[in-house]
Amino acid sequence: MNLPAHTPTHPRMEEASHGNSRGPGGPDGWNSNSDHGGDHDQPRLATAKAGLWLFLVTATVVFSMLLSAYVERKTGTDWSILPRLGILWLNTGFLVLSSAAMEWARRLARRGDLQGTRFWWLLGGAFAVLFLLGQLLAWQALYIAGYGLSSNPSSSFFYLLTTLHGLHLLAGLIAWGWATVSIVRLPETALAKSGIKIELCALFWHFLLLVWLAIFGFIWFVS
Amino acid sequence: MQEHAAGLPETHGHEETHQHEPTGFWTKYIFSQDHKVIAMQYTITALLVGVVGMVFSWLMRLQLAFPGQLSLIQPDNYLQFMTQHGMIMVIYLLTAFLLGGFGNYLIPLMIGARDMAFPFLNMMSYWTYFVSVILLFAAFIVPGGPSGGGWTIYPPQSILPGASPGSEWGIRLLLMSLAVFVASGTMGGLNYVTTVLQLRAKGMTLMYLPLSVWGIFVASVLALLAFPALFVGGVMLLLDSLAGTSFFIPLVNQFGRQLGHEGGNPILFQHLFWYFGHPEVYIVILPAMGVVSDIIANFSRKPIFGYKAMVISILAIGGLSFLVWAHHMFVSGMNPYFAFWFAIATLAVAIPSAVKTYNWMLTLWGGNLWFTTPMLYAIGFVSTFVAGGLTGLYLGNTAVDVPLTDTYFVVAHFHLVMGVSAILGIFAGIYYWFPKAIGRMYNETLGKLHFWVTFVGTYAIFFPMYWLGAAGMPRRYYTNEAVTQLPPSSHELNIFITIAALTVGAAQLVFAFNLVWSIFKGKKAEGNPWKATSLEWQTPQTPPVHGNWGPTEPVVYRWAYDYSVPGASQDFTPQNVAGGPAQKAKASGKTKH
């Protein structure tokens, strides 16, 4: 876990002493003043990131538990191997592109490139939507092949794992949509206001990519 | 992610939040984001839910003492009371109270923060908990009533139609309620851990933290790592019940009819359940241990003995909690080497537990003891923790556990070590922080009356259960008529236990009266009536107001245990006092600043 080290002055303390006297050029100081270096000395981002990292740890336990149960249940005599759905490779590609676009948006945002940030940010979201639509198609293909939720434990696990992963991504997309409003609206100078949201979304996207690769790997290779 | 996103508007709104206190009724008392109000909401809800759990225990005791004489208690009802009693007490009372109640109230005040790291998320945590309680009680009005499958809700009997009461909608609502509770606990846990890591006051190193914060902190980490297993197991069980999947349910012939399941593994559920279930008991005991440590140090007017060892023990107990779960499954069948490992790991828990117990005793030893109600409860905690914990050494040994499994010996063990102890810790904490939270003193005489009846009474209830269990009285049975090995005297003992249980129940009315009466009529409390060192007693107002600290946050110069420092002007030195003599020899964090 990457928890940032103890920060002796937390955001509230600073606020209490500075009050509303701050200028408009970036209330959290994020990227508003490049002289002050990167974001890691920014307590608010550190706090938000610590919270997200903890959530990622919890979500990791959820998926690890499910995958352990998958490995255990697979030893049952009734386990049947699912048809190989080629569309899963395509979906994996979408999610890789989505994650890469989000990462690019994050880097451009740090440099203060609003136009570039907007482009890659929207592209990242679009690829995530494509991924989810592709997953729905995969469900349909599996269903047509005769595998419903309760047909076989292998399909039960497939639907359960993809649903949980998809719900996480959907929640991420809600946060993405909410951040998009400010990113699209904001004038160039106030990109800083969205900095935390971009950082957190990118981190979450990378996490969901890793989780998907693990799920995909188990479904494809450990069946 | 949505949790996180939800937390963000708040981080942008700090300036407003902390300079303009909410004034409307709804934002101030109902949908409040103030950690103190949320703590009260958790406390009140958990206590009310706990009353229901206690009433269920009386109904079970009445049946055991006077079998079949109350028409209200049929075998099905008995199983439902038992199941709901266990669930309510462990999850919806103890976990919610210790993390949601104490955690919320104490963490920001003890570490010198103005509020939690994510106040909006904190509010959501309480209201999600509230929804889980609604779902829990909704099971009482659906056809078939609540689940009677045992608090461990083992499949297949918990979800097969007719196999146990409430095995259709009762169990489904319970599983939904648990999933929602996990969401609530995750939101809370994220908040508690992040707050302790990020929002400590200037100078407050980790090794200056009071042990209450350490206990709650490690318990929150355990919750974040353990609750997911309950969530996963619960969702899979729900799918088995609702959608006809076969995660856990094998091929079953019921009344000559083959059910639709095939090949599922019930033992898999037990592993998931206990991977959550064992850390869960430490989730409730670690905060109680922390609270008791602080109270014992204060009322002994001595620094806690072996602070660093206490912290390491908390961490060790937390770490070991994930390595012992299968000791709940010795009779489920497993590789003997597997059982051997779990037995060894289980016995290893005794080491940090013993370190803590000795340190409490050595803190008391030679202290200038002040027998207030919270101090009595804290000492009571140490007593029941030992009386219950020592039999953990019996049950942790596979060979001893097998004959004792599912007897009252187990019931006595876990009630004393994590039920009664955690409740005594909660009472200690309620009395101790009542003057700070309410601004008035409770009635000491009524408090002591409450303590003595509760303390002696719970021993009278649970200690004889060791004998009953050793004599072979099975747990979960509606009636023991067919248990031929039980001597007739065991029935008299059961009557005795029931009378003790009803007496302890009546004593809680004294507690309720004391609480309510003192809130309105109690003597006004000063800011620091116990002459304590930790930060929550140094707030400018009592009870603390929105934002906790007024214009400037406290700065910390010392650990929380500078009691009776030689050469100091008074027998305690608050953490935010600079300079002057300190317990340097024992202050573990002395070199940090």
Label residue B584 by pLDDT band (50, 70, 90): low
Partners of B113 on chain A (C-beta within 8 Å) are: 10, 12
Q: CATH number of the domain at A43-73+85-221, out of 1.20.120.80, 3.20.20.70, 1.10.3720.10, 1.10.10.1400?
A: 1.20.120.80
Mean pLDDT, range A44-61, rounded to an integer? 94
Residue A103 predicted with pLDDT over 80? yes
What confidence score (pLDDT) does residue A184 get? Answer: 83
C-alpha A105/C-alpha A206 separation (Å) is 13
Mean pLDDT, range A68-82, rounded to an integer? 93
Partners of B203 on chain A (C-beta within 8 Å) are: 8
What confidence score (pLDDT) does residue B147 get? Answer: 97
Question: Given the structure tokens 């409490």, which residue do they identify?
Answer: B360
Partners of B205 on chain A (C-beta within 8 Å) are: 6
Q: Which letter does DSSP use for residue A195 in this model?
A: H
Do the chains contact at B232 and A16, CB–CB below 8 Å?
A: no
Residue B9 predicted with pLDDT over 60? no
What confidence score (pLDDT) does residue B581 get? Answer: 86
Cα R_g (chain B), whole angstroms: 24
For the segment B512-564, what is each residue's pLDDT rounded down to a tens digit? Answer: 999 999 999 999 999 999 999 999 999 999 999 999 999 999 999 999 999 99
What's chain A's average pLDDT? 83
Query: Residue A220: helix, strand or coil by DSSP?
Result: helix
In angstroms, what separates the C-alpha of A58 from chain B's closest C-alpha? Answer: 6
**Cβ distance B125 to B45 under 8 Å?**
no
Label residue A190 by pLDDT band (50, 70, 90): low
Exposed/middle/buried for B579, CB within 10 Å: 0-12, 13-18, 19+? exposed
**Cβ distance B575 to B558 under 8 Å?**
yes
Residue B586 predicted with pLDDT over 80? no
For the segment B180-206, what is each residue's pLDDT rounded down to a tens digit? Answer: 999 999 999 999 999 999 999 999 999
In chain B, % of residues over pLDDT 70: 95
Query: Residue B413: helix, strand or coil by DSSP?
Result: helix
What confidence score (pLDDT) does residue B451 get? Answer: 98
Mean pLDDT, range A25-34, rounded to an integer? 35
Q: Which letter does DSSP use for residue B448 in this model?
A: H
Residue B93 predicted with pLDDT over 90? yes
Do the chains contact at B262 and A156, CB–CB below 8 Å?
A: no
Alpha helices in B165-265, H assignment, sequence order:
169-198, 211-242
CATH fold match for the domains B35-248 and B316-525? yes
- The residue with greater pLDDT, B20 or B93, is B93
Mean pLDDT, range B328-348, rounded to an integer? 93
Do the chains contact at B268 and A72, CB–CB below 8 Å?
A: yes
The partner residue sitting opposite B262, judged by closest CB among A46, A78, A200, is: A78
H/E element, B90: none
What's chain B's average pLDDT? 93
Residue among A116, A117, A219, A132 nearest A168 (CA): A132
What confidence score (pLDDT) does residue A188 get? Answer: 66
Residue B444 predicted with pLDDT over 90? yes
Q: Where do the domains of chain B lie?
A: 35-248, 316-525, 528-593
C-alpha A39/C-alpha A27 separation (Å) is 13
**Cβ distance B33 to B17 under 8 Å?**
yes
Structure tokens at B246: 């076969």
What is the dihedral angle through the alpha carbons of B49, B51, B52, B55, rounded to the nearest 10 degrees?
160
Number of neighbours of residue B355 by Cβ within 10 angstroms:
17
Write out the DSSP string of B295-329: HHHHHHTSPPTTHHHHHHHHHHHHHHTTS-GGGG-
For the segment B111-141, what is each residue's pLDDT rounded down to a tens digit? Answer: 999 999 999 999 999 999 999 999 999 999 9
Structure tokens at B162: 């007719």
Q: CATH number of the domain at B35-248, out of 2.60.40.1180, 2.170.150.70, 1.20.58.390, 1.20.210.10?
A: 1.20.210.10
Instruction: List all residues 6 or more positions away from A151 whose beta carbon is below 8 Å from its beta carbon.
Output: none
What confidence score (pLDDT) does residue B56 get? Answer: 97
In angstroms, what separates the C-alpha of B219 from chain A's closest C-alpha? Answer: 14
Q: How many CB pairs under 8 A join A and B?
A: 174
Do the chains contact at A174 and B8, CB–CB below 8 Å?
A: no
3-state helix, strand, coil in chain B (%, to 5): 65, 0, 35
What confidence score (pLDDT) does residue B14 get? Answer: 41
C-alpha B315/C-alpha B221 separation (Å) is 10
Label residue B333 by pLDDT band (50, 70, 90): confident
Give CA separation, B131 vs B137, B251, B434, in Å: 10, 35, 27
The partner residue sitting opposite B263, judged by closest CB among A46, A61, A78, is: A78
Label residue A20 by pLDDT band (50, 70, 90): very low
Structure tokens at A72: 């255990």
Write out the DSSP string of A84-152: --THHHHHHHHHHHHHHHHHHHHHHHHHT-HHHHHHHHHHHHHHHHHHHHHHHHHHHHHHHTT--TTT-
Residue B156 predicted with pLDDT over 90? yes
**Was domain B316-525 assigned CATH 1.20.210.10?**
yes
Partners of A204 on chain B (C-beta within 8 Å) are: 1, 4
Evaluate if pTM is beyond 0.95: no
Partners of A11 on chain B (C-beta within 8 Å) are: 11, 14
Residue B8 predicted with pLDDT over 60? no
3-class secondary structure per residue, B252-263? CEECCEECCCCC
Label residue A9 by pLDDT band (50, 70, 90): very low
Residue B318 predicted with pLDDT over 80? yes
Partners of B8 on chain A (C-beta within 8 Å) are: 48, 196-197, 200
Between vectors from CA B578 to CA B573 and to CA B583, what angle results, nearest 5°? 50
What confidence score (pLDDT) does residue B23 get? Answer: 77
Cα R_g (chain A), whole angstroms: 21
Instruction: List all residues 6 or more positions away from B25 whose beta carbon is below 8 Å from its beta carbon.
Output: none
**Cβ distance B266 to B249 under 8 Å?**
yes
What confidence score (pLDDT) does residue B24 get? Answer: 84
Residue B162 predicted with pLDDT over 60? yes
Do the chains contact at B117 and A3, CB–CB below 8 Å?
A: no
What confidence score (pLDDT) does residue B26 get? Answer: 85
In chain B, % of residues over pLDDT 90: 87
C-alpha B145/C-alpha A17 separation (Å) is 56
In angstroms, what separates the C-alpha of A2 from chain B's closest C-alpha? Answer: 12
What confidence score (pLDDT) does residue B253 get? Answer: 87
Residue B375 predicted with pLDDT over 70? yes
Number of helices (H), then strands (E), belonging to chain A: the values are: 6, 0
Crossing angle of helices B350-364 and B336-348, in 10° steps, is 10
Do the chains contact at A204 and B3, CB–CB below 8 Å?
A: no
